Structure 1
Amino acid sequence: MLPDALRATLEQTLGTPLQSATAVGGGCIAHATRLDTAAGRFFLKYGEAEVARTFPAEARGLRALAAADALVIPEVIAQDAATPERPGYLVLSWIEPGPKTEAFWTALGEGLAQLHRVTGAAYGDHPDNVIGRLPQANPSKDDWPAFFRTARLAPQVQRARANGRWQAAWDAPLDALYRRLPELLPFDPPPSRLHGDLWSGNVLATADGRAALIDPAVYHGHRAADVAMTELFGGFEARFYEAYNAAWPLRDAYAQQRPIYNLYHLINHLNHFGTSYAARVARILQRFE
Structure 2
Amino acid sequence: MHMPDQLQAVIEQRLGAPLITVTPMGGSFGAQLTRVHTQGVSYALKWATRGPARAMVAAEADGLRRLADAGCVRVPQVVAADDGTCGIAFVLSEWITSNGMEPDQAVLGTNLAQLHRTTQAAFGLEQDNFLGGTPQVNSWTPSWPTFFRECRLLPQIKLAVANGFLTTSRHAALERLVSRIEEWLAIPGEPALIHGDLWSGNLVGLADGTPILIDPAVSFSHREAELAYTELFGGFGPRFYAAYQAAWPLEPGYAERRDLYNLYHLLNHLNLFGLGYATQVDQIVRRYVG
- State the match for 1:47 in structure 2: 48
- State the match for 2:135 in structure 1: 135
Q: Percent identity, please.
A: 46
Does the Cα contact within 8 Å between 1:126 and 1:218 map onto a contact in 2?
no
Q: Does 1:66 align with 2:68?
A: yes
Map 1:1-289 → 2, pairs under 5 A: 1-24=2-25, 27-29=27-29, 30-38=31-39, 40-50=41-51, 51-81=53-83, 87-101=88-102, 104-287=104-287, 288-289=289-290
Please tell me the residue identity of whatever aligns with 2:238: A
Offset at residue 98 of structure 1 (A): 4.5
The TM-score, its normalising length taken from structure 2, stands at 0.91
Number of aligned residue pairs: give it. 286
Equivalent position SS for 2:181? helix
Gaps of 5+ in 1: none
Q: For residues 124 and 187 of structure 2, what CA distance do their matches in structure 1 show?
A: 14
Q: For residues 7 and 266 of structure 2, what CA distance do their matches in structure 1 show?
A: 35
Please tell me the residue identity of whatever aligns with 1:230: T
Offset at residue 236 of structure 1 (A): 1.4
Q: For residues 216 and 71 of structure 1, what CA distance do their matches in structure 2 show?
A: 12
Which digits, 9 at most, give the CA deviation of each residue in 1:45-93, with x for residues without a partner? 123312222112111111111111111122222223558x975321112
Please tell me the residue identity of whatever aligns with 2:227: V
Please tell me the residue identity of whatever aligns with 1:235: G
Offset at residue 133 of structure 1 (A): 1.7
Offset at residue 251 of structure 1 (A): 2.5
Offset at residue 99 of structure 1 (A): 4.4
Offset at residue 188 of structure 1 (A): 4.2
The TM-score, its normalising length taken from structure 1, stands at 0.92
Offset at residue 3 of structure 1 (A): 3.4
Does the Cα contact within 8 Å between 2:76 and 2:93 map onto a contact in 1?
yes
**Which of 142-151 and 172-181 deviates more?**
172-181
Please tell me the residue identity of whatever aligns with 2:63: G
Please tell me the residue identity of whatever aligns with 2:210: R
Q: For residues 237 and 33 of structure 1, what CA distance do their matches in structure 2 show?
A: 31
Offset at residue 100 of structure 1 (A): 4.4
